[in-house]
Amino acid sequence: MKDSAKNDERVCLEQPFDFAGNTNWRIFRIMAEFVEGFEFLYQLRREVTIFGSAALPKTSQWYKEAVKLGRMLGGHGFTVITGGGPSIMEAANKGAVESGGESIGLDIELPTGQRKNEYVKKSLGFHYFFSRKVMLTASAQTYIFFPGGYGTLDEFFEMLVLIQTKKMEPVPVVCVGQEFWEPLDKWIKDTMLQKMGTIMPDDCEIYEIVDSAEEAFEIIKESKERKYF
């Protein structure tokens, strides 16, 4: 028995401590991401967060509109925040840089490395998707959603729930691209509101749908005048 205990002790000493797999150390890492994230955001002013696909090509209409919106925002002193990745996120950061504005990326660490686009000038990387999403949903006074995939829709509905349940102050939520967003809007109103009654009429007023960067920018300017910024 003594020999067995010594062997077990020897194995424990030979094996490195698994920080990544230890629950307590994971909690510390999560806490550190939140602290560092909020400290990073505290420095920023007049923020507009832009969400959208990581897969649309540069030839896409919505990539071009995102560049245009980023350029208008940067040129008028707004801080553009994205998830720091490619496609729509890259486009918005690119527009901000081209107009001399602040270009921020809250990117995610992936097995292949961080996918930060070249137009991000200040960034913060996250290990956990959920802590990054908290920062993205706490980072601005206006939220813009371009066409995207599951991640974009996840972030969109997360924002609606936070406003609906009064966990955050109501702020403008703008969806750019009628072709993409209006079928979803119709399903929300026809099925969730009218047929099933799972939401209230006011819940359909949380977001607006527009079809161009110019329309989105007008809402952002009006938000500034209403002192969201």
Q: Assign residue 140 the CATH number of its domain.
A: 3.40.50.450
| pLDDT at residue 79, as a whole number | 96
Any domain includes 47: yes
pLDDT at 24: 78
pLDDT tens over the chain, length 229 residues: 445 444 444 444 455 545 556 777 888 889 999 999 999 999 999 999 999 999 999 999 999 999 999 999 999 999 999 999 999 999 999 999 999 999 999 998 776 544 789 999 999 989 888 898 899 888 788 999 999 999 999 999 999 999 999 999 899 999 999 999 999 999 999 999 999 999 999 999 999 999 999 999 999 998 765 555 5
Distance CA 141, CA 120 (A): 20
Q: Which domain holds residue 198?
A: 18-225
- Distance CA(21)–CA(123), nearest Å, equals 27
Query: 12 in a domain, yes or no?
Result: no
Q: Please give the tally of structural domains in the chain.
A: 1
Residue 101 in contact with residue 73, Cβ under 8 Å? yes
pLDDT for residue 9: 45
Tally Cβ neighbours within 10 Å of residue 31. Answer: 11
Kindly state whether residue 42 falls inside one of the protein's structural domains.
yes
**Residue 113 domain-assigned (yes or no):** yes
Q: Look up tokens 């939401």; give the residue.
A: 199
Burial of 117 per CB tally in 10 Å (0-12, 13-18, 19+): buried
**How many Cα atoms sit within 13 Å of 37 on the Cβ side?**
25
9 falls within a domain:
no
Residue 47's DSSP bridge partners are 79
The reply to whether 5 falls in a domain is no
In a domain, 121, yes or no: yes
Does residue 8 sit within a domain? no
The pLDDT value recorded for residue 23 is 77
